[in-house]
Each structure stands twice: as structure tokens, then as C-alpha cells.
């Protein structure tokens, strides 16, 4: 009669190691999933913000509306900031202007590079109150692309915008009489900046 070999019983250490392997597998799967989701979420989040005005994100339009609401006026205030590592002067030429919904608004900003070399900057923006973002449309704006300034150079940059006439149908905006448009310039590292730096340092007078 042959002996029967019983299966090896797992020790508490074996069971703990197996449990740890299962936990590690799940954690790694979650990490890879979240990384992939983060890349997909950037354009989706941007689209969501532009459609809803979430967080004060403004809209972009190709043209002005046909309708102007004459019996409603908004004071548009302009706020400017610059990141600490970007030595630029940046300000709106007017503190505020008044517009009717649907009317063209036009404001100019002045920016100056106080650094000793060409620098590229990009502006991020929003409006407050945040709900106004869905009604604030930009037709022309320097914020649509990066700006490269040579040392000591300053320039004026226009922004054309309008407040959507549909704002008068939003009861949550009835008490709003002013909207603040805010810009913050940040330094950027781009290929265009590298080319500008190379041209600058290759000048005969450097």
C-alpha cells in the first residue's frame, strides 16, 4: 500500500506574503490607471471648463454678437500679476471700463522685459465671479500664444472681448454688476525661446 502525500500546508508567513503580493498588484494597477487617466483628463477638463465656465474659465469667439443689451451695464476690472521668476512689468492701461452685454470691449496691456536676455512668457487667466466665465468671450487676446520679449523691450497688447447677452437670462447673475479679468504671466521654456536666445547671444554687439 503506497503512502499518500498530503498537500503542503501554508504557514502564516506564506499567507501573509501572498496577501501582500495581491495588494501590491492592485496598487500598481491603480497607479498605472490613474497616470493614464490624468493624461486623458487634461483635454477633457479643459473642454469642461470652457463649456461651463467652471473656475472662471472664459470662452473664445471668432466674432461679436449681433445683439447689444442697452439697459444692463457691467464694470470690467483688470487685474495683473507676474510670477516671481519673471522680471517683467505688466499692467492694464486702464483700471476698468464699462460695457453693455453684446458690446465690444477693448483694453490694452503693457508689458516690459527687465531681464538681460530674451524671455518667453505665457499668461493664464480667469474671471470672477467664476460663474461669469461662461458669459465672458474673448475675440482677440495675447494670452492665446506665448510672448517673447527682447531685453528692455516693452509692447502694448490688446484684448477684445464681450459679455454674452445671454447673461441677462441667468437669474444667478442678476446681482452682479462687475466682472474682474485676471492675468498672470509665467516664464516658459520653449523652442521659440531657445531660438530667440541663440539669435540674441550671436549678435555682433554682444
The mean per-residue pLDDT over the stretch 67-75 comes to 96
Residues 36 and 122 occupy one common structural domain: no
192 shares its domain with 148: yes
14-57 per-position pLDDT tens digit: 655 565 566 556 555 544 444 443 333 333 333 333 433 334 45
Report how far residue 157's alpha carbon sits from residue 109's, in angstroms, rounded to the nearest whole number.
Answer: 5
Q: What is the residue range of 22's domain? A: 14-52
Q: 191 lies in a domain? A: yes
- Of 50 and 144, more confident: 144
Q: Is residue 107 part of a domain?
A: yes
Joined together, the cell numbers standing for residue 118 give 530674451
- For 102-120, the pLDDT digits (tens) are 999 999 999 999 999 999 9
In 3D space, the residue among 86, 206, 81, 85 whose CA is nearest the CA of residue 149 turns out to be: 86
Q: Is residue 6 part of a domain?
A: no
The sign of the dihedral angle between the CA atoms of 29, 37, 146, 187 is negative
Q: What is the CATH number of the domain that holds 114?
A: 2.60.370.10
63 with 48, same domain? Answer: no
Same domain as 120, residue 39? no
- Whether 43 and 65 map to the same domain: the answer is no
Same domain for 113 and 157, yes or no, is yes
Q: What is the pLDDT of the chain when averaged over all its residues?
A: 78
Helix (H) or strand (E) holding 201: helix 191-201
Shared domain for 67 and 168, answered yes or no, is yes
Report the C-alpha gap between 10 and 159 in whole angstroms: 72
Give the least confident one: 44-48, 77-81, 134-138.
44-48
pLDDT at 169: 96
**With contact defined as beta carbons under 8 Å apart, do 153 and 112 qualify?**
yes
In a domain, 47, yes or no: yes
- Answer whether residue 8 is part of any domain: no
Same domain flag for 21 and 42 = yes
Question: Quick one: 158 and 99 in the same domain?
Answer: yes
Band of the pLDDT at 167, cuts 50, 70, 90?
very high
Per-residue pLDDT at 3: 53
Q: What is the rounded (10 degree) CA torsion for 142, 45, 85, 151? A: -20
106 and 44 within one domain: no
Buried b (16+ CB within 10 A) or exposed e, 58-71: bbeeeebbeeebee
46, 93: one domain:
no
Range with the lowest mean pLDDT among 90-99, 129-138, 141-150?
A: 141-150
Residues in the chain, how many? 206
Percent of the chain residues topping a pLDDT of 70: 65
Looking at the domain assignment, is residue 45 inside a domain?
A: yes
pLDDT band with cut points at 50, 70 and 90 for residue 12: low
Question: Both 76 and 150 in a single domain?
Answer: yes
- Residue 70's closest CA among 165, 142, 4? 165
Residue 28 falls inside a structural domain? yes
Specify if 37 maps to a domain: yes
Dihedral angle, C-alpha 88, 75, 104, 124, nearest 10 °: 30
Q: Is 171 exposed, middle or buried (0-12, 13-18, 19+ CB in 10 A)?
A: exposed
**pLDDT score of 202:** 72
Task: State the total domains in the chain.
Answer: 2
Amino acid at each position: 500500500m503506497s503512502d499518500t502525500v498530503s498537500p503542503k500546508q501554508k504557514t502564516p508567513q506564506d499567507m501573509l506574503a501572498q496577501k501582500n503580493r495581491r495588494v501590491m498588484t492592485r496598487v500598481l494597477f491603480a497607479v498605472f490607471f490613474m497616470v493614464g487617466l490624468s493624461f486623458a483628463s487634461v483635454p477633457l477638463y479643459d473642454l469642461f471648463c470652457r463649456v461651463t465656465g467652471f473656475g472662471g474659465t472664459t470662452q473664445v469667439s471668432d466674432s461679436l454678437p449681433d445683439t447689444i443689451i442697452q439697459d444692463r451695464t457691467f464694470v470690467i476690472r483688470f487685474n495683473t500679476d507676474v510670477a516671481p521668476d519673471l522680471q517683467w512689468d505688466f499692467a492694464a492701461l486702464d483700471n476698468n471700463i464699462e460695457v453693455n452685454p453684446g458690446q465690444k470691449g477693448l483694453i490694452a496691456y503693457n508689458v516690459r522685459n527687465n531681464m538681460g536676455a530674451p524671455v518667453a512668457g505665457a499668461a493664464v487667466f480667469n474671471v470672477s465671479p467664476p460663474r461669469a466665465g461662461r458669459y465672458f468671450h474673448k475675440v482677440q487676446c495675447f494670452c492665446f500664444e506665448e510672448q517673447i520679449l527682447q531685453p528692455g523691450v516693452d509692447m502694448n497688447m490688446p484684448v477684445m472681448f464681450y459679455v454674452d447677452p445671454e447673461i441677462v437670462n441667468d437669474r444667478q447673475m442678476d446681482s452682479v454688476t462687475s466682472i474682474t479679468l485676471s492675468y498672470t504671466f509665467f516664464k516658459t521654456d520653449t523652442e521659440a525661446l531657445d531660438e530667440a536666445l541663440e539669435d540674441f547671444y550671436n549678435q555682433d554687439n554682444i
